Amino acid sequence: MDILLAHAYYLDEDPHERQVMKPYPPLGILYLSSYLKREGFDVGVFDSTFASLDDFAALLKREQPPVVGIYVNLMTKFNALRMIRLAKVQGATVIVGGPEPPYYAADYLKRGADVVVKGEGELTLAELLPHLARHGLHDLSNIWGIAYLDASGKLAETLPRPFIPDLSANPWPDREAIDIPRYMRAWKDHHGQSSVSVIHARGCPYTCTWCSHSVYGNTHRRRTPEDAADELLWIKERYNPDLIWYADDVFAINARWLFRYAEALKERGVRIPFECISRADRLNEDVVRTLAEMGCYRLWNGSESGSQKVLDAMQRKVQVEDVQAKTRLLKQHGIQTGMFIMLGYDGEQMTDITATVAHLKQCDPDIFLTTVAYPIKGTPYHAKIESDIYTGKAWDQRSDRDLDVKGRYTRRFYSFATRWMVNEVALNHARLNGGASLPARVKMTTNIALGRAGMFLTAGGRS
């Protein structure tokens, strides 16, 4: 084995996600696996979702991989640090990548990681692995897209690696390397329908100040509609799922691509109900009609706030009235509406929260999730308020979600504000729908201010 790829999400350690029970495979490392295998490398994959740290330790001891690559985001950081230590005990060289490590490279390197991959991993790993086999950790300066500690123990960062221009030249994710049917059974047993995730694009060109672009930058690159449709046909023939989750950051960002994709699916006889994320400003009558014809049963919209002042501060580039209008349009075409709401952004006041409640009442979404804004390092939001960020915890005992901001309302306040929001919107929904209540999941997830990063945690998302 040349490398063991792993992620650090363990379902058994997440009580809330065990209750929700909508896990998705780690598509990020599955893309790495298929690419490296095509290039002739011997690749192993450890899928932690249904496993344990003991399982990981046992695999390391049994296989003795020379290199271990671990995907990390801010919600899996603590397990990733444990996995780094376990891999080092077995003498492996440890590479970490994903959204979290690039802006905390020195911290990960000082805690056992040998190399941090910044940005996309395919091309970097394909160059790095042969180098490690021949030279170990020496002379790394010519490998673009990495960070490491030099001979004096100081952080060294090489030139950024250009992004892969043609995503359709990449092989599809190595789904056969893990137990996809187990994910489908988890869905089927808890929700009566199975689901499989796909990603047809990388990156988001929008400028939302709180959003991390540490892996794909501000680019937006799409596979060809035909390649994407071929993968859906293969998924249908191989797994025959009841549902599809499109994990693209903004699925309907390009109308011409969407129309071509819809036609390509129709030509292949593929129609699988799906849910996706998009933006109000990318929706119009033709786009929404096409989504409905394709089988879209739910569209998630990053509404964030009902206050235009807050949206403008976030650089969301969306209008409150447009979100409301596009929500009505989706409903007219029989598509359920989901919304993301963010409280606590810089400058938000109680009047803005009240406006958000009024906005939710006006939209009457089928489901909505809330989070309290937290400053992710490397984002414009973090840079803007950095002098006001504080925490009483050491770096390896907290994530960016644990950071507090001076001058903001307390966590207790947002807990009550969220509860008030949920109850107000639920009562309004009941009035509008003849006494029908909002789905139980809305009440549960909003009351604990669940972030969207946890919504589809193992789908290979960006948070």
Which domains does the chain possess? Answer: 3-119+121-157 (3.40.50.280), 167-373+409-459 (3.80.30.20)
pTM of the shown model: 0.93
Q: Which long-range contacts does 36-41 make (Cβ < 8 Å, 24+ apart)?
A: 36/2, 36/3, 36/122, 36/125, 36/126, 36/129, 37/171, 37/174, 38/171, 39/126, 41/2, 41/3, 41/126, 41/129
Tokens 């003795």 sit on residue: 64
The DSSP result for 392-420, as a single string, is SS-GGG--GGG-EETTSPPHHHHHHHHHH
Tally DSSP H helices, then E strands, for the chain. Answer: 16, 17
pLDDT digit string, tens, across residues 386-406: 999 999 999 999 999 999 999
Q: Which amino acid is at 130?
A: P
The whole-angstrom separation of Cα 289 and Cα 332 is: 10
Tokens 């490397």 sit on residue: 378
The whole-angstrom separation of Cα 68 and Cα 307 is: 46
What's the distance, CA 354 to chain centroid? Answer: 29
Q: How many CA atoms lie within 13 A of 408 on its CB side?
A: 22
Q: Does pLDDT of 446 surpass 80? A: no
**Strands 336-343 and 296-304, sheet pairing:** parallel
What is the rounded end-to-end Cα distance, in angstroms, of the chain? 30
pLDDT digit string, tens, across residues 17-58: 888 899 999 999 999 999 999 999 999 999 999 999 999 999
The whole-angstrom separation of Cα 162 and Cα 159 is: 9
Question: What is the chain's mean pLDDT, rounded?
Answer: 93
Neighbour count for residue 402 (Cβ, 10 Å): 12
Q: How many CA atoms lie within 13 A of 118 on its CB side?
A: 22
pLDDT digit string, tens, across residues 251-280: 999 999 999 999 999 999 999 999 999 999
pLDDT category of residue 463 using cuts at 50, 70 and 90? very low
